[in-house]
Amino acid sequence: MAQLMESTAKGEGKGENDVTPEMVDRAAIEYTGKPIGLSAQEIKKALDPLECVKARTLIGGPAPDQVKKQIEQSRQTLIADQKVFEELQGQIKAGERKMEAAEKTLLGN
């Protein structure tokens, strides 16, 4: 929708802040055969980049709430991975101690 409104404004030599409901309806009629009937406020919101980002609420999308969720999920994954890593490090050290003990036994030390 934003692209439709921007192309209409550019075609009439106007900027995105000059887009009117009438302009949108003319463009909609040209493309779809019927008007959309958006208010000036809806048009302003549709052309606002921050509002467009906020509207992308799908999982993993750029909306602030989704980004916060992804950060928290990543944080939890990192914590879990760190625990696994520490457990594996402990197992490796225990294995090294066993090997050293076996070496001493074999060498008679």
Average per-residue pLDDT for the chain: 89
CA angle 50, 51, 56 (to 5 degrees): 100
Q: Does position 50 have pLDDT exceeding 70, yes or no?
A: yes
Max mean pLDDT among 40-49, 56-65, 68-77 falls in 68-77
Contact 35, 29 (CB under 8 A): yes
14-17: Cβ within 8 A, 24+ apart: 16/47, 17/47
Report which of 41, 40, 69, 73 is spatially closest to residue 56, judged by C-alpha positions: 69
Mean pLDDT, range 20-45, rounded to an integer: 92
Q: What pLDDT does 100 receive?
A: 97
Q: Who contacts 64 (Cβ-Cβ below 8 Å, separation ≥6)?
A: 53, 54
pLDDT digits (tens, 9 = 90+) for 62-107: 999 999 999 999 999 999 999 999 999 999 999 999 999 999 999 9
- pLDDT beyond 60 at 41: yes
CA torsion sign for 75, 80, 84, 90 is positive
pLDDT of residue 102: 96
Q: Quickly tell me which residue has 């549709």 as its tokens.
A: 46
